[in-house]
Structure 1
Amino acid sequence: MKKNHTMMQFFEWHLEADGAHWNRLKEMASMLKENGIDSVWIPPAAKSETPDDNGYGVYDLYDLGEFDQKGSIRTKYGTKEELLEAIASCHEHDICVYADVVMNHKAAADEKETFEVVKVNEENRNEDIGEPFEMEGWTKFTFPGRGDTHSDFKWNYTHFNGTDYNASDDEEGIFRILGEDKAWNENVADEFGNYDFLMFANYDYNNPEVREEMISWSKWLTDTLEVDGYRLDAIKHINYDFVKEFAEQAMEHGGEDFYIVGEFWLSDLAECQAFLDNIDYKIDLFDVSLHFNLHNASNAGADYDLREIFEDTLVKSHPMHAVTFVDNHDSQPEESLESWVEEPFKQSAYALILLREDGYPCVFYGDYFGINGPAPEEGKAEAIDPLLYVRKNKAYGEQEDYFEEANLIGWVRRGTEEMEGSGCAVVISNEGDNSLTMNVGEEHAGEAWVDYTRNCKDEIIIEEDGTASFPVMGESVSVWATPDE
C-alpha cells in the first residue's frame, strides 16, 4: 500500500550565513527519514549577489558554489561539492530532493548598458510616467569568474523587459525597457495592473532566447544535481504559458516521477484554479488559501469557526494538486509576506495538514528547528514529532469528519489491514476543555488508545460499536491511537 509522504522546507530566512547548511542536511538526513520526512525542498543553490544572500537575488544560475564570484566560492549554504554530498546522503536514506528554482530575475550584473526605457507607476505598471528616455542600467551578465564553463550564454538588456535602478541618475523605480516586441508579459497576475515585474532585472519571456536558455539550464541542473523535482519561485510573475512549457520539458527530461510544485502566492481560490487550468495541471501549488485560514484561526481564537477551516482552499477543491503548509520563510515574522500562525494554534494547524487524507504536507524548518533574526522563535519539534509519527504509522484508511461545532472539530481515520495498528482520532478545540464522540470502526472495539500529543494523559477504551468519547484540552489538539511499544 502507498504510505504517506511528507516534505520539509529545509531552511528559514535567517539561517546563519556560515556556509554549513548543506553539511547540516547531509548530517540530518538519517534523522529526518526516521522522523517521517521523505522529501526536502532545499533553498536556491545558485550564486547570488552576496555570500549571505538567501539565494533569491540570483546572479549566476550555473555557479552552485564552484567559482570565485560575488565575494566567495561558496554560497550562503556551502559549496557545490557539499551540496552534491548532501543530496547523495538524502538519496541514501530514500529522501527526495526538490531544488528551489528562481527564474524571474537576475541581480548584481557585471556591467552597465545604455538602453531606452519608460518609467511606470509602481501601483499600476500599465501606466507610463513621462516620456521615454535613455538610461544606464545594470543588465549585462558576463560571469568573468566562471567564463564559459557549463554555458557560454551571456545576458544583456534585450533579455529583460524591466529593471529597478537607473544608474544614470541614481534613481530607484520601475523602468520598462523599450524596443521591438518589448512589453510586459500579459499572462501573469493582474495585481498592480500587471505583476510581471517583481525586482532586479526582470526576465522577458516574450524573448525566445530567454525561454530556450532557461529550459536548457533546467536540464543541466537536473543532470548535475540529480534532484527529484523543483519548487518554482514566484510564478505569478512569470508568463503562464512558459511555466507550462518549462514544466513539460523538465518532467520529460527528469522522468515520470519528477515532481514540481509552484509558489503562486494568491489567497483567492478562483485565481489558483484558473492558473491550474492555464497550465493544464502540470504542477502542484502551495495552498496559500489554507495558510491564511490557519493564520486567521490562530489570531481569532475562540471567535474563529473551525468548521470553516477548509473553506475556499485548494486542498478541498483540488486535493491532488495541493501542497499544504502552516508557514514558510516569507510568512515568518518580520518578512515580506508576514502572516505567522501563532501559538497556541500551531500544533493544531500541523495536525490539520499532517493527519488528513488529502494534500501533500510541508513542514517548515523554522517551525521545527527554530528561527533566528529580529523575531526569534524556538523550534517546536517536540510538538510536531508526535504528529509526524502518527502520519507515518497511523493516519491511514477511511476518513470521517465531525465538523459540527464552531469551537470543536474532529475526524477519524479508520486504519487499514496492511498497516497493522493503524487508525487515529483527532480532536481540536479553540476554546475550553471538551470531548467529542466519534466512531473509529468496530474493528477497534476494546482497544486502549492514548493521546500521542500527551496533552491528555489518560487512556480511553473503544466501545463495542467502535465509538468513544475523545477528550481534548482547551485551545489544543489531541491525537488518539493505539500505543506502540
Structure 2
Amino acid sequence: MKKSTLLYYCLAFGSVISCRSNDEILPASQAEVHNKTVDVTHHDGRPFSTGNGSSTAKFVAGPGGGVLMQGFYWDVPAGGTWWDTVRGKLTDWSNAGIGAVWLPPASKAQNGPYSMGYDPTDYYDFGNFNQNGTVETRFGSRTELEALITKAHEENMQVYADIVINHNSGGQSEYNPYTGSNTWTNFSGVASGKFTRNYNDFYKNSYGNNDEGSFGDFPDLCHANPYVQDWLWGRDDSVAKYYKNVMKFDGWRFDYVKGFGPWVVNNWNSSVGGFSVGELWDSNVNTLESWANNANSSVFDFAAYYKMDEAFDNNNLNALNDDMMWKRNPYKAVTFVTNHDTDIIYNKMLAYAYILTHEGYPTIFYRDYEEWLNKERMNNLIWIHNNKATGTTSILYTDNDEYIARRNGYNGNPGLVVYINNSSSWQERWIQTNWAGKQIKDFTGNSSWYPTTQGDQWVKIQSPPNSYSVWSLNQ
C-alpha cells in the first residue's frame, strides 16, 4: 500500500484499525508448532554467547524454524541502488538465522524512478524497459534484482514478491462506455507487450460496477474477467508463473487484499504454489481467520499487532490474553512489530521478544534491525526463536506489568519460558516448567541466575526492568 494514500484510506473506512493450497509451502517457523513432524537440521549458527557453534553457516532451519525480514522501508533511497544494498546484507542475515526476505513491488510503476512500486504499470518490466521516464526502477535493474534472488538462494533463503493486483496506474486515457467518460485504463502500450489492458479489464465494465473495494482513484482491476485471471495466474507466462519460474521468486505478499475476494489469492496459490501472506488490515481475528481459510494463505496478524501496542505502550500486559490470529492458527499467522505503512509500537524490543518466542511466523522490519534497535539483542532473539521456540504455548502469569508464557517443546526440544517485564524494577516469580530437577538459564544473558527446578517442576525466575528474560535447559 502506498503511504501517500494511507490517510485517504483510513478516512474512507472509518478508523485506523480498518485502514488497510494445498500447495502452500509453510515457512519453517510454523513447521513444528502443533507437533507436525518435519525433517530439519539444527541451526548451529549462534551469533554470540548463547552457546557453542559456528556463526558463519548459511541459514538452516532449526527446530523453531526461521524468521522473515521485510527487506525495505517506505522511501528507501532512490537511484537504483536498493537491490544491491539488500544483496550485500543477505549473508549476514542468513548467518543470523533469517530464512526469507520480502522485497518491495519489483516491476515498473507510474512514478518511474521515484515509485515504491504500489502504482504498477507493467508487471513484466523489472527495470529492463525504458518507460515511465526510466529504465531502472527505484530499486535498480532487472539484472541486479536477479543477482539478489540468486544470492539469497545461495544463502538458503527464500525471496517473497510484493504483489499489487488490486489496482493499476500509468495507463493512457480512453473512452469508457460503461462510465460515459474517459478513464485512465488504456495499457495497450506497455513496453513488455504482456498483459495489455483496456477499460473492460477494470471496473466499471461489462462484469459490473466494482468488486470488494477500490483503492483511491486508481483503476480497479476486474478479477471477474477471465482475461485478467488468465494473465494473472492462468497462462504459462502469467504474472504468477513468470515471477515463480523465470524470476525465481519463492512466495508472495499480497497487497491490499480487502480490494478483491480471497478466491483470487486461492486461485493464484493453487496455480503456482509457494508461501503467501495477505495484507488484510483489520484487528478482528474472525475476519483474519476467515480470509486466511478462504484464501488458503497466511495473513498478517493485525490482531496481535494492536494488542501488543495496548500491552507494551499502555502498561496493560493483560491484553496479551486476548484473541489473536496466531492463537487461532499459527500456521497461517505472520506476526510483526512494524512495517512500511504503520509504526505505532514504542517498546519494540518487548514486542520482538514476544513475537520471537511465540507461535506464528515472525517478521523483522529492516530499519528496526539495521538502524534503530540493538542488532546483538535482535540476533539473540532470532537464535532463541530458531532453536528454542517449539511446541504449543501456555500463558503462566499476566498483570499490567508482567507476562510469563511457556513454549511446551516438541520432539526432544525442551521449549522455553519467556518473562516480559514492563515495570521499572526487577521482578521475580515462581512458575511451573515442564522440567523436574533440571538446571536452567536465561538465554538472553540478562539474568545471571542458574536455578534448578524442583521435583514438582516449579522454579523462581526473574526479569530485568523494561526488558525480558528467556529460560530453558542449560544445555
TM-score by length of 2: 0.80
Matched, 1:160 2:202: yes
| Distance in 1 between residues matched to 2:227 and 2:290, nearest whole Å | 28
Give the unaligned 5+ runs of structure 1: 119-133, 162-176, 189-194, 252-257, 333-339, 371-377
Distance in 2 between the 1:469 and 1:77 partners?
51
Q: Tell me which of 183, 191, 215 is aligned to 1:137.
A: 183
* Counterparts in 2 of 1:181 and 1:145: CA distance versus 1, 3 Å: closer
Deviates more, 1:288-297 or 1:266-275: 266-275
2:442/2:469 contact within 8 Å kept: no
C-alpha separation in 1, matches of 2:373 and 2:465 = 22
Change (3 A) 1:312 1:401: closer
Question: What is the SS of the residue equivalent to 1:218?
Answer: helix
Output the CA distance in 2 between the equivalents of 1:469 and 1:369: 35
Report the Cα distance in structure 2 between the residues aligned to 1:459 and 1:437, rounded to whole angstroms. 14
Report the AA paired with residue 228 of structure 1.
Answer: D
8 Å contact kept, 1:412–1:438? no
| Paired residue type of 1:430 | N
* Map of 2:362 onto structure 1: 361
Residue 483 of structure 1: CA displacement? 6.9
Q: 1:113 to 1:313 in 2, by over 3 A?
A: same
**Partner secondary structure for residue 386 of structure 1:** helix
1:482 positional shift: 6.0
Measure, in 2, the Cα distance between the counterparts of 1:139 and 1:288: 33
* Structure 1 partner of 2:226: 208
Pair 1:431 & 2:423 matched: yes
Aligned to 1:270: 286
Q: Do 1:290 and 1:310's aligned partners in 2 also have CA atoms closer than 8 Å?
A: no
Work out which of the two has the higher radius of gyration on C-alpha atoms and give 1 or 2.
1
CA deviation string 1:437-475 (max 9, x = no partner): 22344466235x2351x4x35233223434432211232
Kindly state the Cα deviation for residue 211 of structure 1 after the two structures are TM-superposed. 1.4
Report deviation, 1:244.
2.1
Q: Aligned partners of 2:168, 2:462: CA distance in 1, in Å?
A: 54
Q: 1:222 to 1:416 in 2, by over 3 A?
A: closer
> Are residues 1:225 and 2:247 paired?
yes
Q: Which of these residues, 293, 297, 302, is aligned with residue 288 of structure 1?
A: 302
Written as runs of structure 1 = structure 2, the 5 A alignment for 1:274-353 is 274-279=290-295, 282-301=296-315, 304=316, 306-332=317-343, 340-342=344-346, 345-353=347-355
- Aligned partners of 1:198 and 1:237 also within 8 Å: no
1:411 matched to 2:425: no
Residue 347 (structure 1) shift: 1.1
SS of match in other structure, 2:314: helix
Tell me the SS of whatever aligns to 2:83: helix
Q: Report the equivalent of 2:69.
A: 8
Aligned to 2:209: 183
Alignment of 1:369-388 (within 5 A): 369-370=370-371, 378-388=372-382
Q: What is the SS of the residue equivalent to 1:211? A: helix
Aligned equivalents of 1:441 and 1:269: distance in 2?
A: 30
Residue 461 (str. 1) matches residue 451 (str. 2): yes
CA distance in 2, matches of 1:312, 1:34: 34
Q: By how many angstroms is 1:140 displaced?
A: 0.9
Amino acid at match of 1:45: A
Q: Give matches, 1:28-47, under 5 Å.
A: 28-47=89-108
Once residues 199 and 91 of structure 2 are traced to their aligned partners in structure 1, the CA distance between those partners, rounded to angstroms, is 46
Residue 398 to residue 309, structure 1, CA distance change in 2 (3 Å) = closer
Q: Is the 8 A contact 2:190 2:196 kept in 1?
A: no
SS in 2 for 1:38: strand
- C-alpha distance in 2 between matches for 1:197 and 1:398: 39
TM-score scaled to structure 1, two decimals?
0.78
SS at match of 1:402: strand
Judge conservation of contact 1:60–1:143 (CA < 8 Å) in 2: no
Question: Taking every aligned residue pair, what percent have the same amino acid on both sides?
Answer: 27
Q: Is the 8 A contact 1:407 1:431 kept in 2?
A: yes
1:401-424 C-alpha deviation (Å, 9 max, x unpaired): 3134342111234656755xx643
- Post-superposition CA distance 1:66-97 (Å, at most 9, x none): 11111221111111111111111111111011
Between Structure 1 and Structure 2, the one with more strand by share is: 1
Q: What amino acid maps onto 1:64 in structure 2?
A: F
Q: Quick one: distance in 1 between partners of 2:397 and 2:412?
A: 28
Which one-letter code corresponds to 1:237 in the other structure? G
Q: Distance in 2 between matches of 1:202 and 1:416?
A: 46
Give the 3 Å change call, closer, same or farther, for CA 413–244 of structure 1 in structure 2.
Answer: closer
Match of 1:90 among 152, 173, 198: 152
Contact 1:307-1:403 within 8 A present in 2 as well = no
Q: Residues 102 and 144 of structure 1: is their aligned pair in 2 closer, same or farther, counting only changes over 3 Å?
A: closer
Question: Are the counterparts in 1 of residues 310 and 319 from structure 2 also a CA contact under 8 Å?
Answer: no
Aligned to 2:263: 241
Could you tell me whether the CA contact under 8 Å between 1:294 and 1:309 is conserved in 2? yes
Structure 2, unaligned stretches of length 5 or more? 1-38, 41-62
